[in-house]
Structure 1
Amino acid sequence: MSRDIRPSEERIWADIEALSEITDSALPGWTRQALTQADVDGRHRVRESMQQAGMETWIDTAGNVIGVLAGTAGGGRQLMLGSHTDTVEGGGRFDGVSGVVGAIEVVRALREADRRLRHDLVVVDFFSEEPNRFGLSCVGSRAMTGTLGHDTLGWTDSAGVAFGEVLPTAGIDPARVGEAVWDFSKVTAFLELHVEQGPHLEELGTQIGLVETITGVSRFRALFNGQSDHAGTTPMSRRHDAGCAAAGTVLAVERIASGQRDAKGTVGTLTFTPEAVNVVTQRAEMRGEFRSPDGTWLRHAEESLTRAAATEATGRGVTADVEWSTRQEPAGLSGGLLGTVADAVDGLGLSRSTLYSGAEHDAAVLARRVPTAMLFVPSRDGRSHCAEEFTDPAGITAGVAALAQSVLRVDAAEGTTS
């Protein structure tokens, strides 16, 4: 006779701690960036956890770690759960990790309670969700959905090295990435558990956040070319300073993003060439992004920044070239699936609220292929992408319980569980 589904806080915390030990000790926080040995080791650790939980496992040709718990329907419909375990430099222990560990714990709890789903339960640790040094993000989920363009293999980092050249260091054959496409016609739903990475749930005193929309993202690289001259002898009126043109454009990003309530604008890197205090900058490069749940506003921001860069450059006799490397439209998640998750949360007696996510997620990519829902759990002080990132273990466990009950309800809607 089956028992109640009871996720183990102790097991969840042990898994998070085990992954936190796999980090680049030369960098701050918990750093496990994609395309590094730490990330390779972390993904193999996840696969071991999946195997120990009783799943059939493999790593696909795009680096995604996949585990499957077979259902009673014999290879028919599928439910998919997952997130990512790569981090930003100096990141925390919970971003993405909580969703992967939580999905594996759902499998453990189901087996421990002797509950069988009709659906096959598929758990995925997606490769390179965080933006890597090539400006690419959600690489694994894009590959699974067939939306990772072949041209991305030629994208280069600041040293001129191509993305395709470094994939073998992560155990990925660039010629076979396209083989990772998944048949989503068999997938009934995708559910992702994640830490909020913002302050709203904590401010509201809410245990679970139900995500209605995931932000759109537009990323850019701006190149400014001026003229190198002696800093001590060239009059200010005769300079063609690429650095000043770039600096003015940085401020334009802030100004543009401040004009819309839910918008965000960030410049992440700014480099000058030559790097010398006594030489007028000949070349400057900046990389940044805009985010908003409003796709129309993102197009406005792109046009505004391109004009601003041209204005800053022209006034100084400098050329400007703005390239938009990533355009991801806002993703609305499934209202019907969200209702099912809300019922599961209410059934557990947990408090909930709805919100939109300003962070990028694999769920936004999958939402364009299959009904998708996201569950958030609170982040202490809203901190994330930093060493101070923290979510209470009990809070994560509550999220895993809600995830498990959501799985049961979705599975039951297509047939009974046993």
Structure 2
Amino acid sequence: MTAAPQPVADRIGSTWQEMADLHDPDLPGWSRVAFTEPDTAGRHWIADRMRTAGMDARIDAVGNVIGVLPGTAPSAPAIVTGSHTDTVPGGGRFDGVVGVLGAIEMVEAFREAGVRLRHELRVVDFANEEGNPQGVMLVGSRAISGHLTPQHLAATDAEGTSLADVIARAGLRPEEIDTCRWDAGEVAAFVELHIEQGPVLEQQGASLGIVTRIAGIENFVVDVLGRRDHAGTTPMNARNDALCAAAGTILAVERLAASGADSVGTVGSLTTSPEATNVVSEMARVTGEFRSPHAERLAELRDRLAAATAEQDAAWGTESTVRWGQVDDPTPMDDVVSEHLLDAARDVGHEAVRIYSGAGHDTVQMAHLCPTGMIFVPSAGGRSHCPEEWTDLSAVVDGAGVLAQAILRLDERL
């Protein structure tokens, strides 16, 4: 097996710092929220870095940055790698960024060593992986897989602003989403390098993980209708308090998710009307999600949440409606690609462990097009989606080295 050229640690560190500097100074951490000015600046910076590394680069209609390195066999389908550089508000410097900058460094190392691939190589910085107030995650990879729909673009936030409006305000062209779609036949495989975003690798003393499957995610909204009354004169036993019923639902989400292995549940927001202490709440809204690697577990959680809200309604005399929003099914990684990743890790001196991903990734959408695999590097303390997110430079270099070796393996054997 041909040995891949080694990534240059100093160059990775330098480009990572330049990327980190492109953040929103008005938000905590290292924020580059999708379709904002810092995100747009970051995407143009990534395109320039791709060109410097020797790729042709373009930005498509929804903001995906796509770098292309031609192969020696023009008829061979492309091998694709990449991740994202947008962040949650108050996010860190590594989530997604490691996979984009690691891939660019790999191409730079290939160019310097004179390595030519048989397959075309595409490196992608996917747009808006993290989601938005409109409730749509994985926007860029959805567009590439052909699963970004007009309904997604028409989705609105609390102020009535549609996702299409947000994309257009960033100088992009949501009306041209069809031009973003790739055909399945043009892609041979996709590999994503990413930080773990959890504590497992660090706890096991492992330097690398190869992902077995990615959790399914189901978003929900529970709307609770109670009765508006005077808070000072209505006895406690005569109230139909929507906020109290909603509070019981929130506790039920935690209880239900904790009742089985490999599932989590999170409530992200609670709103109530009216917002006054002298009025019993008439309406409340709970927004959250469940995650599990097992579709049957997600189905069970759906049924049990419906039963839990009915119990709260019976206790408080309220009426609750549960609506399920975006659903991403659990996504297993391809066995053949994953074996190549494990072998690539061994080739460069690492015994990687198999690991499940509780976080969603662009790989979920790329799995609609081709066989997929993921490489994880450790997250210090398991921290992510926060300013304290950290992965040692040596771990990033290790991950980029395994990615390079994996790409050579796939290029030779697919």
The bucket for the TM-score relative to the shorter chain is over 0.9
SS at match of 1:88: coil
The answer to whether the aligner puts 1:228 opposite 2:228 as a matched pair is yes
Give the structure 1 partner of residue 155 of structure 2: 155
Give the structure 2 partner of residue 345 of structure 1: 345
Give the structure 2 partner of residue 256 of structure 1: 256
TM-score by length of 1: 0.96
Deviations 1:382-414 (A, max 9, x none): 111111110000100000000000000110114
The answer to whether the aligner puts 1:96 opposite 2:107 as a matched pair is no
Give the structure 2 partner of residue 283 of structure 1: 283
| Structure 2 counterparts to residues 289-300 of structure 1, below 5 A | 289-300=289-300
Give the structure 1 partner of residue 124 of structure 2: 124
Kept in 1, the 8 Å contact 2:91–2:387? The answer is yes
The answer to whether the aligner puts 1:194 opposite 2:218 as a matched pair is no
Q: Which amino acid aligns with 1:24?
A: D
Q: Which amino acid aligns with 1:406?
A: A
SS at match of 2:229: coil
Aligned residues with identical type, % of pairs:
46
CA-CA distance at 1:8 after TM superposition: 0.9
SS at match of 2:210: strand
SS at match of 1:178: helix
Give the structure 2 partner of residue 329 of structure 1: 329
Give the structure 2 partner of residue 246 of structure 1: 246
SS at match of 1:42: helix
Give the structure 2 partner of residue 312 of structure 1: 312
CA-CA distance at 1:62 after TM superposition: 2.1
Q: Which amino acid aligns with 2:206?
A: T
Give the structure 2 partner of residue 53 of structure 1: 53
Deviations 1:122-174 (A, max 9, x none): 00011111121111111111111111222112212122222222221222222
Deviations 1:270-292 (A, max 9, x none): 11122222221122111110000
Task: Give me the whole-angstrom Cα distance separating, in 2, the residues matched to 1:280 and 1:181.
Answer: 50
More deviation in 74-83 or 119-128? 74-83
Task: Give me the whole-angstrom Cα distance separating, in 1, the residues matched to 2:55 and 2:17.
Answer: 21
TM-score by length of 2: 0.97
Give the structure 1 partner of residue 106 of structure 2: 106
Give the structure 2 partner of residue 394 of structure 1: 394
SS at match of 1:384: coil
The answer to whether the aligner puts 1:404 opposite 2:397 as a matched pair is no
Give the structure 2 partner of residue 5 of structure 1: 5
Q: Which amino acid aligns with 1:243?
A: L
Task: Give me the whole-angstrom Cα distance separating, in 1, the residues matched to 2:203 and 2:358.
Answer: 16
In the superposition, relative to structure 1, how do residues 376 and 3 fare at CA in structure 2: closer, same or farther (>3 Å)?
Answer: closer
Kept in 1, the 8 Å contact 2:127–2:140? The answer is yes
Kept in 2, the 8 Å contact 1:3–1:115? The answer is no
Number of residue pairs matched?
413
Task: Give me the whole-angstrom Cα distance separating, in 1, the residues matched to 2:314 and 2:169.
Answer: 43
Kept in 1, the 8 Å contact 2:86–2:130? The answer is yes
Kept in 2, the 8 Å contact 1:192–1:373? The answer is yes
Give the structure 1 partner of residue 207 of structure 2: 207
More deviation in 138-147 or 161-170? 161-170
The answer to whether the aligner puts 1:66 opposite 2:66 as a matched pair is yes
Kept in 1, the 8 Å contact 2:62–2:167? The answer is no
Deviations 1:5-42 (A, max 9, x none): 01011111112111111112121111111132221111
Kept in 1, the 8 Å contact 2:187–2:369? The answer is no
CA-CA distance at 1:106 after TM superposition: 0.9
Task: Give me the whole-angstrom Cα distance separating, in 1, the residues matched to 2:293 and 2:388.
Answer: 27
Task: Give me the whole-angstrom Cα distance separating, in 2, the residues matched to 1:215 and 1:152.
Answer: 21
Give the structure 2 partner of residue 146 of structure 1: 146
Kept in 2, the 8 Å contact 1:193–1:376? The answer is yes
Give the structure 2 partner of residue 43 of structure 1: 43
Task: Give me the whole-angstrom Cα distance separating, in 2, the residues matched to 1:160 and 1:308.
Answer: 30
SS at match of 2:134: coil
CA-CA distance at 1:4 after TM superposition: 5.3
Kept in 2, the 8 Å contact 1:63–1:171? The answer is no
Give the structure 2 partner of residue 267 of structure 1: 267
SS at match of 2:122: strand
Kept in 1, the 8 Å contact 2:12–2:102? The answer is yes
Task: Give me the whole-angstrom Cα distance separating, in 2, the residues matched to 1:309 and 1:154.
Answer: 29
Task: Give me the whole-angstrom Cα distance separating, in 2, the residues matched to 1:4 and 1:79.
Answer: 16
Task: Give me the whole-angstrom Cα distance separating, in 2, the residues matched to 1:298 and 1:115.
Answer: 45
SS at match of 1:167: helix
Give the structure 2 partner of residue 382 of structure 1: 382
Task: Give me the whole-angstrom Cα distance separating, in 1, the residues matched to 2:67 and 2:51.
Answer: 8
SS at match of 2:360: coil
SS at match of 2:280: coil
Runs of 4+ off more than 6 Å: none
Gaps of 5+ in 1: none
| Structure 2 counterparts to residues 13-32 of structure 1, below 5 A | 13-32=13-32
CA-CA distance at 1:3 after TM superposition: 8.8
Task: Give me the whole-angstrom Cα distance separating, in 2, the residues matched to 1:74 and 1:319.
Answer: 61
Deviations 1:245-294 (A, max 9, x none): 11110001001101111100000111112222222112211111000001
SS at match of 1:315: helix
CA RMSD for the aligned pairs? 1.4
CA-CA distance at 1:233 after TM superposition: 1.3
